[in-house]
Amino acid sequence: MIKISRASVVQFLKYNVGGLMYFVGAWSIITFGAPKIGLWWANLIGNAVGITLNYVVQRYWTFANVGNKNSIFNWRFVVLTLVNLVISYYILRGLGSVGVALWFAQFISAGFFTGWNWVWYKYWVFAEKPINKKR
């Protein structure tokens, strides 16, 4: 039986607050913006807003105890985000091509990214760095 610590549960709940902020911001802009400016631009702008909100929550709250405290930039976050933008676009486009409404396709996409990003954030993007101990 796998034992999950209280700290891990709390961290996962904090992670989901950032994810919810991302989703609400992006969902609103994509859903209401796509008919006016097209899916590509609405997706880009919506995700830019969501990414910013999510990064602030993840960097300074969820995973605040790790990483370089003196730097706001995280290249791993940038790499994963760029990959995610492409995946997100194709998920939405693919689901739309089979008749799934855009507003609902975003919920499906969010379900995928909840698990996908948790693993990448926890074990790569904001992974705890080993402390170098002097001998």
Closest CA to 102 of 49, 29, 51, 48: 29
- Distance between first and last Cα of the chain: 37
What does pTM read for this prediction?
A: 0.75
Q: Token pair 């209280």 is at which residue? A: 6
Blockwise average pLDDT, block size 10, the chain, 135 residues: 87 94 92 92 90 91 69 81 90 95 91 94 81 53
Q: How far apart are CA 47 and CA 10, in angstroms?
A: 25
Closest CA to 60 of 74, 76, 46, 44: 74
